[in-house]
Amino acid sequence: MLMLCFISPQPPSSTMVFPHNNLPHVPPSVLVSVYLGICLLGRYPMTSCTAETCSTVTTTLTPHQGSPTGGACTTIQGEARKCSIVCGSLPQCKLVYLSSCNSDGQCSCSYCNQLTQVDFSLTNFQFYLHTKEIAANVSQVHLPGGLEIGQPLSMKVQFLQPFTTLKFFAVGRDQPFVAQFLFHNKSVVGTSYLNETWGPKEIGAPHFNFQSGQEVDVLYVVTAQGYDLYIDRVLFKRFAHVVPPSTVTRFDLVSEGRLALILTFRR
């Protein structure tokens, strides 16, 4: 078991945006250290130590291509793998990425307690999400404790015709965000269901290039304003909160006929 103790070098900033002009110059040795850090996190329990106590947690950081914006971020000077290890030892950490590197391979990296946005069009940058797989091959996932601002929900799901619906449930029968993918007219509808009443429909999508049976990558980012829904790295919907995200109790994937599956679900 790898045991680590650390001291945060500076207080977290309120918002940290991924700097676009540094990563193309990262030396290979630094990238190796990043992958080593991720590998270590995937294989060993990490220990976060304070003056009073040490608690062991097992975690996984998953790589993604794009430019993220984070909140409540802290920057560390040193090898890139340091942020990976620190983030992996902190349950509240959601995001980690390189901030800058010099020609000697010395880097600044950042880890953040919130993910607030992602620009997936910038594919030559990499970041890591700190999540844990909580379900696989199911159609319903319970979310004890609800959701929180800055939380990413990453999943792989199946789309099936004639429709596939992704929906959150809150206390009672309320559904604070429903996204329905309709194959017959190639449209995407966003709506809510509160107090036994359907809300306004928001119809529209960047495209509808889906086939029945296709597996797609889904990322929800819970922002202060609402939900950002990304499908295969494309922002499909922004939907405002109608109930506090902390009241959300579960996520469902619904289709007609053959059962659509949530192949993996990470939070």
Which pLDDT tens digit goes with each residue over 155-164?
Answer: 999 999 999 9
Q: In the listed set 112, 131, 150, which residue is the last one of a domain according to the structure? A: 131
Predicted local distance difference test score (pLDDT) of residue 80: 61
Expressed as residue numbers, the domain containing 192 is 134-266
Same domain, 126 and 157: no
Same domain, 40 and 95: yes
Same domain, 157 and 69: no
Same domain, 257 and 145: yes
Same domain, 260 and 138: yes
Instruction: Return d(Cα 82, Cα 77) in angstroms, integer.
Output: 9
Question: Which of the four pLDDT bands, split at 50, 70 and 90, describes residue 1?
Answer: very low
Q: Helices 81-88 and 28-43 meet at what angle, rounded to 10?
A: 20
Same domain, 167 and 152: yes
Instruction: Give 247-263 pLDDT, tens digit per residue.
Output: 999 999 999 877 889 99
Mean pLDDT of 121-126: 90
Question: Does 46 score more than 50 pLDDT?
Answer: no
Phi, psi of 243 (to 5 degrees): -140, 160
Tell whether 8 is covered by a domain: no
Q: In the listed set 79, 114, 131, which residue is the last one of a domain according to the structure? A: 131
Predicted local distance difference test score (pLDDT) of residue 42: 42
What is the CATH classification number for the domain harbouring 206?
A: 2.60.120.200
More confident residue, 47 or 248: 248
User: Which residue pairs from 195-200 have beta carbons closer than 8 angstroms and sit at least 24 positions apart in sequence?
Assistant: 199/242
Same domain, 71 and 115: yes
Same domain, 78 and 143: no
Tell whether 127 is covered by a domain: yes
Predicted local distance difference test score (pLDDT) of residue 259: 84
The number of distinct structural domains making up the chain is: 2
Query: Lowest mean pLDDT: which of 49-63, 156-170, 209-223?
Result: 49-63
Same domain, 147 and 61: no
Tell me what the pLDDT averaged over the chain comes to. Answer: 82
Instruction: Give 53-86 pLDDT, tens digit per residue.
Output: 333 334 589 999 999 999 999 998 876 678 889 9
Predicted local distance difference test score (pLDDT) of residue 59: 53
* Selection from 157, 163, 132, 168 nearest residue 231 by Cα: 157
Mean pLDDT of 118-142: 94
Q: In the listed set 88, 104, 131, which residue is the last one of a domain according to the structure? A: 131
Instruction: Return d(Cα 149, Cα 116) in angstroms, integer.
Output: 8
Same domain, 118 and 213: no
For residue 242, give both structure tokens: 């109608």
Same domain, 148 and 222: yes
Same domain, 247 and 171: yes
Question: Does 22 score more than 50 pLDDT?
Answer: no
Query: Lowest mean pLDDT: which of 19-28, 48-57, 88-97, 227-236?
Result: 48-57
Tell whether 219 is covered by a domain: yes
For residue 194, give both structure tokens: 């509160």
